[in-house]
Amino acid sequence: MVKNIVLTGFMGTGKTEVGRVLAQRLGYVLVDVDDEIEREQKMKISDIFGRAGEPAFRDIESAMIKKLAQLGKAVISTGGGAVLRQENIDSLRSKGVVVCLTASAETIFDRTKRSNDRPLLKVDDPLGKIKELLAFRQQCYQKADMAIETEGKTPIEVAEEIIEKVRSYA
C-alpha cells in the first residue's frame, strides 16, 4: 500500500466522509487540510476568505499541504480548490496517490445547500456557481492519479473502491 492516500475533488463530493471510512479501514490517520488550517490560523476558512481574500487563503493552504504531505500512512483530505496550484499536487503526490472524488453539479448542490461554511457558494445562484467552478477546475482535477465517482454510492462503497484501485496502482 502507498504511504498516503490524498482525497481531492469539489466540495460536497464526499472527501470528509469517505476519508473517515478509509482511515479507519486502513488504520491510517485522517488529516483534513481545512481543519488543520483553521486550527493553525485560529479562525474559520470562511473568515480567512472574508478578511484576507482567496489568494491569501491559497498561500496558507499551500504551506499547510507542503507540511502535511510529509506524513506517512495518512488519508489527507484537501479543500476543493487545493488542486488549483500544481505545487500542491506535486507535494501531495510525492508521498502518496492522489484520488479525485467526483459527483454531478446537481448532487453537489444537494449535498452542500444546507451548509453555511461554503464561502464560494454565498451567491444568488449557487448551482450555477458550482457548474462554473467545476468547469474551471476540471483540468486540475484530471491531474489526479485516479478518479472515483461518488454518485449514488455510500462512503463505505467509495472507500472500498479506493482501496481496491490503490492496491492495484502501487
Per-residue pLDDT of the chain (170 residues; tens, 9 = 90+): 568 999 999 888 999 999 999 999 999 999 999 999 999 999 998 899 889 988 999 999 999 999 999 998 999 999 888 888 999 999 999 989 999 999 999 998 888 877 666 656 677 788 898 899 889 888 888 889 999 999 999 999 999 999 999 988 76
CA-nearest of 143, 32, 156 to 89 is 143
pLDDT given for residue 119 in this prediction = 59
One-letter amino acid identity for 13?
T
Q: What's the CATH architecture for 4-169?
A: 3-Layer(aba) Sandwich (3.40)
pLDDT given for residue 99 in this prediction = 95
CA count, 13 A, side-chain hemisphere, 43: 11
